[in-house]
Structure 1
Amino acid sequence: MAWPPLWPVLFVRQSGNTFHTPLSRSPSSVPPGPAARLRVRAKSRAEARLLGPAPRSRLPGAPSTLRPAERAPARAPRQPSSSRQCCHLLPVVAPLWPSCAEQDRVATAALPGNPDRPAAIRAVGRCCPRVHPLFGLAAATPSCPQNVNISGGTFTLSHGWAPGSVLTYSCPVGRYPVPASRLCKSNGRWQTLRSTQLTKAVCKPVRCPGPVSFENGMFTPRLGSYPVGGNLSFECEDGFTLRGSPVRQCRPNGMWDGETAVCDNGAGYCPNPGISVGAVRTGSRFGLGDKVTYRCSSNLVLTGSAERECQSNGVWSGTEPICRQPYSYDFPEDVAPALGASLSHLLGATNPTQKKKKSVGRKIQIQRSGHLNLYLLLDASQSVAEDDFHIFKESASLMVDRIFSFEINVSVAIITFASKPKIIMSVLHDNSRDATEVINSLDNINYKDHENGTGTNTYAALDSVHIMMNNQMQRLGMSTAAWQEIRHAIILLTDGKSNMGGSPKLAVDNIKEILNINQQRNDYLDIYAIGVGKLDVDWKELNELGSKKDGERHAFILQDTNALYQVFEHMLDVSKLTDTICGVGNMSANASAQERTPWHVTIKPKSQETCRGALISDQWVLTAAHCFRHAENSSLWRVNVGDPNSQWGKDFSIEKAVISSGFDVFAKKNQGILEFYGDDIALLKLAQKVKMSTHARPICLPCTVEANLALRRPPGSTCRDHESELLNKLSVPAHFVALNGSKLNINLKMGTEWTSCIQVVSQDRTTFPDLTDVREVVTDQFLCSGTENDDNPCRGESGGAVFLERRYRFFQVGLVSWGLYNPCGNSNKNSRQKAPRGKIPPPRDFHINLFRLQPWLRQHLEGILNFLPL
C-alpha cells in the first residue's frame, strides 16, 4: 500500500491482542515531499522517542519546528525477547489525532496544547489503527490462511485467524494428529510448534511400543510396535514366578494396560525391578545399595526414575520408569486413582502420633490432624484458551471446596503465571484458610491479567512458592515444630513447556532444600505436574518436576481440560473417610447412579419394591410413614443399600420402625377429604451398621452440626439460619431420585409462589369432592413442586429424599409424599409420561418439609445426630 507523502509513520508491534510501539523509528519513514508537514513538540525524552524525529516544515497554525539539535536521537529498534512472540508491525500514520473510535482501538497521541495529550500519548501501543480519520487509509492486519484442514480430524483456534492464535488438531480415538498444532505468526504464516516434515496435517494410527528385552522369559508376538487392541503375552522360564500382567493390551492412548510383567526368583535383597516395555535397563544385581539405570529406545520418552537404588527396607527408590510415545496421554480413569493413591498427606493425611501400616498404599484419607499447605499453580499463557483457563479455575475450585468440606487444617496459595507469576493468594494470608475466600479469589481471577505476557515461565511460578515458603519459615522459626510439621503439596496445571526464565527444576531443588527433603522427610513434599492438551506439553519436563515415590505417579498428561475436571472429581477416595461425613456424592461423568446419590435406599417387603428412603447416619433411614400403612410386620421388610461390591446393593433387615403417631391417612375423612398425608414421616433403624463407601453414605440433614460444617457456617448458627440459606428464593431448584436411580429435577415453590402452587388441589374433585379450603389438605408441613417443566415423582418413589446441592454437598430438605399425577403408568422404570396438556387437575407434587417436623426429628434422633438450636 502506498502512503501519502510527507507524513511520518510510527510502527506498532502487536503481541496477542495488545499493541506496542518500538522506542524509535527509522528517519527514512519520513518521506520528503512538497506538502506541508505537521510538527508535534515532545515535552519529554520519552515522548520524543515515541514520536520520533519531526519534519522541518509545518502546517499553518501548527507550532514552529524544532531545530535539528533539539531532535531526540534515533535509536535502533528494540529487538523482541526470544521468550515472547514478536508480532507484526502495523503502520500508524501521523499526525496523531486526539481520540480513537472504540470499535477500532485506534492508537492515539494528542496534538500540543490538548489537555488530554499525556493520556493520549500513553494510549499509543494499546490501540491498533485501522482507518486514518483524515485519509481513510487502512492498516491491514495480516491473518493466516484458512486452508488448514486435517484429513480425518478437526481443529480449533484459540484466537481466530489472527497472529498469535494457536491451531490445535484433534483426531478420532485411536489416532493422533501430525502436526499436533500450529501457531499463526506475525507475517501471516503458520508455524508448526514441533518440527515435522509434513506440510499437510494428517491423522495417524496410534501404536504402542514393543519390548526391547524381557528377562528370564519370553513374550509374543514379537513386533516393533503394536496396533490399538493388540495383545502382548508373557511367560516365565522354569524357576521364575511371573509378577504383573501376563497379558497386556494396547489402548487407544498409546499405553499398555495392566502392569509391567517381571519374572523373578526372589533371590535379591530387593525384588527384580523389571524392565518396562520399550526400556533398556543397565544393572542386574538387586542387593542392598545396588543401583539400576534405565533409558528408552528410539524416540520414546521416559517418565519415572531413570535411576533406582535398592534400599534397606527392601524397596526400590523412586518411581517405576515407563517409556511412552511422545503423543501418548493419560485417561482420567487412570489418573484419578493414581493421583488419589499418592496424595496420602494432601489432606493432612497422616496423624503424627499414628504409626503407619506397612504395605498399605498411600491413599487420600480424610483426617483432622496435621497441616497442609496447598499451592495451586495455573498456567495463563497465551496458548491457554479462555474456556480452558475457566476449567482450570473450576477444577481448582472443586478441589479446594471438597478439601475444606472435610474440616481439615489447610492453607491454600493461588498463583497464575505466564511470562511472570501473579500471586492471587498466599498461604501467609489469613484468608488462605477460609474456603469461601479462597474460592472467591479463584472465581475472580481475570483471564486477561496476563495478556501482555505470552511466555510460559514455570521457573518463576515455582520460585514464588519457594519465596513464600521461606517467608513462612522466617515467621514461624526454622527449627520449630510449627514449621517442621507442615506438609506441602504443589499442583501445577499447564498446557505447555516452559520457554523462559530458566529451568524450573532449579526452583524445585530450592524448594527441596528449604524443606530439608531427604529420605526421612520425603513425605513432606508432593509435587504434581499435570500437562493438559495437545500443544507443546513436554513429558520430560513434567517428569523432572513431579515427585518420585515408590509405587506412585506425580506426572500426567491429559487430553483436554474436561478430562482434568473428571480427575479432580474422582480423586477424593470417600470410602476411606474416618467418620460418616454427610452429603458427599460423586458427580463426575463416569460415576454410577448410586455413587452420585449414595444415601438413596430402596425399601421393600420381601422382593416387592414399595418406597424409597435416605440414609441419615450409618444405621438410620428416613422415609415416609404411608409406606407402612398396610404393613403388619416391618421386620419382614428389607432395606437395600448401595454396595461397591454388587450392582444389586446389599439388603439390611429392620431392627425398629418409628412411624409418626400423628400420621393417619383417614384423619379428615369426615370433612370430605378422603386422603390426608400430614405427619407423613418415619424412621427405620437397620439391624447392622452400614459400612461407609462410595456407594453408601448419609445425606446431610439441615439443623444439625454436621450440616452446619458442610455449609461452612459459624458455630453459633441456628435452624432458622439453615432454612434461610437453603430455601431462600421463591423458586428453589431441587432434586429427587427416580425408580431407575437417575437424579431428576424439580423447583420448590416458596412464599407467594407456594400459595399459588397449592391452589390446583381444589380441582381434584375425585379425592377431595367437598374441599373448601386447600390448606386443610396442604398444610405448611408440605413443600410444593410440579409447575413449569418439573419432573413428577412416580408411585413407588415416595419416601425418597428431596435434596439441594450447595458447594458440592447435598442437603435433604424434604421427602417425597404425594401428588396429583403418576407419570409411571407401566412397570417400565425408564418410562415416564408427561401429563397431557390441559389435564385437570394439573400435576402437583407435595413433599414433607423437614424444617416443619424438627420437634419429631429431635425427639427420635437425639444422640444420633447433633442438632442446632431452633
Structure 2
Amino acid sequence: MRTSADRFAALLLVEVQCDCTQTSIDIIGGSYTLTKNLEKGSLLVYHCPEGQYPYPTLTRLCQANGSWGPLPKKRPAQMCKRVTCPDPFVLENGNVSPAQENYFVGDETTYECYSGYTMRGSSSRICLPNGKWNGSTPICSRDSGEACPDPGIPPGASRLGSMFGIDDKVKYACNGKMFLVGSSERVCQENGQWTGKEPECYFKYTYDTPQEVSEAFGSAIKDSLTTMESLNDTQGGRTIRISKEGTLNIYIAVDISESIDQNQFDKARNAVITLIKKIARFSVSPNYEIIFFSSEIYEVVNIHDFFDQRADLTKVIEDLENFEIGDKNTGTDLNLAFVTFEKRMSFIKEQAGPEGFKEHRHVLIMFTDGAYNMGGSPKPTVERIKDMVYMNHTEGEKAGSREEFLDIYVFAIGANIFDDDLQPLTLGTGEKHYFRMKDITELGETFDKIIDESEVVGLCGLYQEYNTVDKNSIRKRFPWMAFVRNTGLKSKMCLGSLVSPDFVLTAAHCFTFGDEPENVVVELQGSGLKEKKVRKFTLHPKYNLKAKANEGVQEFYDYDVALIRLNESVQISPLARPICIPCTQETSDALKLVGKSTCKQQEQLLLKDQLERLSFLTRQNSLVAEKDVFAKLGGNRNLCIQKALNANGITAKDPKVAVTDNFLCTGGRIEQRNHIACRGVFSPSYIYMLPNKPRFCLLTLYVGIC
C-alpha cells in the first residue's frame, strides 16, 4: 500500500508544464509575435519600426515551467532603441567629422586625408537603417613600395599589422559588443591581393539588404554557371548535365526546426523554388540535393537521381511547393544536414572515380539560424567535406588550386541567429559567403533578379585558366580577344577586344582615311576562324595623329580608340565573352560596388596602388601571349613620363605635352622589370584582373611611345 509520502515523492518526479503569461512582455514603441501562442516552446519575437531595434533582448522563449527566458525585467525596460552604426573613428592618417558619441540612421560623416596621403573609398558616408554605413571603407594611404595596398580598417574594428609586403599578415577584431563578419586574418599574396574577404563589424541587429545579397551571392553563382558549357540536352529540353569542363552540384538545406517559424520557412522555400526555376533557364543546369531538416532529414530530391537520369525538375519543384512542416520540427541536428551532403559527395566520388571527381564543383546553400540541440557541431563534418573536395591538399600543397571547387553559403534566418557557430561553416573564394537576413520576404525576389539569362550570358571579364597552348584553351583564357584585319589602303593586323555581342574595341591607328567597312574583317576564335564582317567602324572624334606636331610631338596617340560594329552578333560562349570596361554597370557589379557607381569610384579600386600590375597581349605565332607590366601611378608617374622626352619624334620639353593624363605610363626598371609594349602591327591593350575575382577589365588600348 502506497503511503502519502510515496505519493508526494512521485509527484516530485512529475514534470509540471504550464503556459506562459503575457505579463511584462510588452515592448515600448514596438510589438511582438508568438509562434505557438503562450504554449511551451513558443518563441516571442519583438518587432520595431525601421531604424530601430528591440532592446535589451530580441526574443524570449516560453519554457516548460511557464516562465519566459530570458525573464522580463523592469530595468532596463524592453523598448525600441535607435539603430547606431559602427564607430568611424578608426581611420588612420586622416580626419573624420563630425565627432559624435553615437551615429544614428541618417547621420553623415566625411573623411579627409592628411597631406601626402591619397583617399581611397568613400569620402562621405551615411548611416543606414540596417546598421551599416553606405559606400566603401575610406583608406588614407601613400606609396610605400609594398606588394599589397593598405587594406584599411572597417568602422568599429581594430587592426594588428601595418606591414603590407608579400606574406605579411593583418588581423582584425571588432570593438565592444560587435562581432566580425568576413576574414579576421588576411595575408598579402604575390599578386598584390589580400587573401580572404574584407571584414565588417556587425551588431546583433545588423543585417544584409536584398541588394547586397543580390550583388554578392548573385555574382558568385553566375560565375559558377557561366564557367560551364553544355554537352547534351535531356529531360524536356533542359540540359541537366554534363558540361565539357565539369559538373556543378548544388546542395540545399532548409531548417524547419521550432526556432524557425512557418512564415520564415515559407519564404525560404519559395526563395529556393525561385532560384531553381531561374537556373533551369540555362543550357547548363546543376544536379541538386535538396533537404529539409530538424532532428531528421526530409529529402525532396536525391542528387543520385540526376546521375541516373531519373530526376524531373518539374516534379522537384512540385514536391517543394507541397512540402508541409506538420509535426516534423522537433529538435535540431544541423550536423546531420552536412553529414547527408558528405554521403552524397562520397557516392559521387565513388561513381566518378578520383580523376572524374576532380571536375565536380560543389555549392552548398544553408538556410538556418544555427541553433542545434543534438548531433554536435558540424565543423568536423565540414572539414571532412573540405578534405574530400580539396583532395586532402594542405595550404602548403597548393590547396588554392582546389578552392574554387567548393563553396558553402549560409543564409542566416530566424529571430535569434547564432553567428559564432555559423560563420566558421562558410567556405569559398572571392565573394561574401555569409548573409545575415532581417526578413527574407524579399529573398525570392532577390534570387529572381540575380540570375537574368541575358545578363549572365554576356557577363563581362570571365575567363578560364589553362596551361596548354592549343587554340581553344587560349581562347578560353582570353575569350574577348579579337584579330582585326584591315585590307584597305594600308594593310594592317591589330588586336581588339570584344566588349559586347555586337561591338569590338580596337585602336584608331589601325585605320587609314579612305578605309571602308568591307575592307575590315574581325576574327574571334583564332586566326582564320569565325570571321565576322563589319557593318561600321567609328574613330574617336578627338583622335588626330598630328594634333601636336607643332608642339614637338610628331605622332600623338591620345584618343587612339575605334569602335567596330559587327554585321551580326557574336554568340556568347566560353570561347567568346566580352571583357569588362570601366564606367559601366557591369564593371561596377564585378567590383562589388553596391548600386550605381561613378567612374572615380571604379578608378579608385582599379588603380589603387602606386605600382599597379597590369597585363597586355601580344602576337605569338598565330595566337597571343600574355605579358606583364607595372603602371607607375601617383608619385611614380612624373619620373616615368619624363622618359618620353627621349623617344624618337618628340622634341617637346614638357613630358605632359606628349603624355597626357589619359595615358598610363609603364616601363623602366623601378623595383620590377617590365615587358616592352610598343605600337606595331598589333595594338596592345592593358588588362587588369579584378580583386579576388576571375574577371578581367580593359583599361586602355594603346600603351604609349617607345
SS at match of 1:448: coil
Counterparts of 1:215 and 1:471 in 2: how far apart (Å)? 52
2:562 maps to what in 1? Answer: none
1:285 shift after superposition: 0.9
Counterparts of 1:337 and 1:516 in 2: how far apart (Å)? 27
SS at match of 2:95: strand
2:213 maps to what in 1? Answer: 335
Query: What is the letter of the counterpart of residue 427 of structure 1?
Result: I
Distance change >3 Å, CA 541–CA 232, structure 1 → 2: farther
Distance change >3 Å, CA 392–CA 270, structure 1 → 2: same
1:502 shift after superposition: 2.4
- When Rg is computed on C-alpha atoms for both structures, the one with the higher figure is 1
1:645 maps to what in 2? Answer: none
1:459 maps to what in 2? Answer: 335
1:428 maps to what in 2? Answer: 304
The range that moved more, 286-295 or 500-509, is 500-509
Distance change >3 Å, CA 161–CA 542, structure 1 → 2: same
2:684 maps to what in 1? Answer: none
Task: Give 1:540's match in structure 2, choosing from 420, 430, 446.
Answer: 420
Counterparts of 1:260 and 1:281 in 2: how far apart (Å)? 14
Counterparts of 2:213 and 2:105 in 1: how far apart (Å)? 20
2:104 maps to what in 1? Answer: 227
1:257 shift after superposition: 0.6
1:571 shift after superposition: 1.9
Distance change >3 Å, CA 245–CA 688, structure 1 → 2: farther
1:269 shift after superposition: 0.3
2:389 maps to what in 1? Answer: 515
1:395 matched to 2:395: no
Counterparts of 2:206 and 2:54 in 1: how far apart (Å)? 11
1:446 matched to 2:324: yes
1:254 matched to 2:120: no
Aligned length: 448
SS at match of 2:276: helix
Query: What is the letter of the counterpart of residue 166 of structure 1?
Result: L
Counterparts of 1:324 and 1:548 in 2: how far apart (Å)? 21
1:300 maps to what in 2? Answer: 178
Query: What is the letter of the counterpart of residue 524 of structure 1?
Result: F
Unaligned 5+ residue runs, structure 1? 9-24, 32-75, 79-87, 91-140, 354-366, 581-617, 620-686, 694-870
2:294 maps to what in 1? Answer: 418
Distance change >3 Å, CA 30–CA 296, structure 1 → 2: closer
8 Å CA contact 1:212–1:280 kept in 2: the answer is no
2:442 maps to what in 1? Answer: 563
1:493 maps to what in 2? Answer: 367
8 Å CA contact 1:245–1:259 kept in 2: the answer is yes
Counterparts of 1:370 and 1:400 in 2: how far apart (Å)? 19
Task: Give 1:160's match in structure 2, choosing from 20, 34, 37.
Answer: 37
8 Å CA contact 2:229–2:284 kept in 1: the answer is no
Counterparts of 1:502 and 1:544 in 2: how far apart (Å)? 15
Write out the 4+ residue segments of structure 1 that deviate beyond 4 Å after TM superposition.
Answer: 5-8, 25-31, 195-199, 350-353, 687-693
Distance change >3 Å, CA 198–CA 406, structure 1 → 2: farther
RMSD across aligned C-alpha pairs, in angstroms? 3.5
Query: What is the letter of the counterpart of residue 334 of structure 1?
Result: E
1:165 shift after superposition: 0.8
Distance change >3 Å, CA 259–CA 500, structure 1 → 2: farther
Counterparts of 1:241 and 1:526 in 2: how far apart (Å)? 36
8 Å CA contact 1:348–1:369 kept in 2: the answer is no
Query: What is the letter of the counterpart of residue 559 of structure 1?
Result: K
Write out aligned runs for 1:800-815 (5 A). none
SS at match of 2:429: coil
1:207 matched to 2:95: no
Write out aligned runs for 1:63-462 (5 A). 89=16, 142-145=19-22, 147-178=24-55, 179-192=57-70, 198=75, 200-266=77-143, 267-347=145-225, 349-350=227-228, 370-430=246-306, 433-448=311-326, 450-451=328-329, 453-455=330-332, 457-462=333-338
1:527 maps to what in 2? Answer: 408
1:463 shift after superposition: 1.9
8 Å CA contact 2:281–2:453 kept in 1: the answer is no
Distance change >3 Å, CA 198–CA 503, structure 1 → 2: farther
8 Å CA contact 1:249–1:256 kept in 2: the answer is yes
Counterparts of 1:488 and 1:351 in 2: how far apart (Å)? 16
2:532 maps to what in 1? Answer: none
1:472 shift after superposition: 1.6
Unaligned 5+ residue runs, structure 2? 232-242, 392-398, 460-500, 503-565, 573-706
Instruction: Using structure 2 for the length normalisation, give the TM-score.
Output: 0.58
SS at match of 2:304: coil
Counterparts of 2:423 and 2:303 in 1: how far apart (Å)? 26
Distance change >3 Å, CA 369–CA 520, structure 1 → 2: closer
8 Å CA contact 2:230–2:284 kept in 1: the answer is no
Greater RCO (Cα-Cα under 8 Å, separation 6 or more): 2
8 Å CA contact 1:415–1:424 kept in 2: the answer is yes
8 Å CA contact 2:43–2:259 kept in 1: the answer is yes
Counterparts of 1:199 and 1:163 in 2: how far apart (Å)? 25
1:230 shift after superposition: 0.9
Counterparts of 1:290 and 1:333 in 2: how far apart (Å)? 34
Counterparts of 1:300 and 1:692 in 2: how far apart (Å)? 49
Query: What is the letter of the counterpart of residue 450 of structure 2?
Result: M
1:503 maps to what in 2? Answer: 377
Query: What is the letter of the counterpart of residue 39 of structure 2?
Result: A
1:429 shift after superposition: 2.0
8 Å CA contact 1:374–1:488 kept in 2: the answer is yes
8 Å CA contact 1:212–1:297 kept in 2: the answer is no
Counterparts of 1:146 and 1:432 in 2: how far apart (Å)? 56
Counterparts of 2:570 and 2:126 in 1: how far apart (Å)? 35
1:506 shift after superposition: 2.1
1:532 shift after superposition: 1.8
Counterparts of 2:34 and 2:210 in 1: how far apart (Å)? 24
Instruction: Using structure 1 for the length normalisation, give the TM-score.
Output: 0.48
SS at match of 1:577: helix
Counterparts of 1:577 and 1:344 in 2: how far apart (Å)? 6
8 Å CA contact 2:29–2:79 kept in 1: the answer is yes
1:368 shift after superposition: 8.5
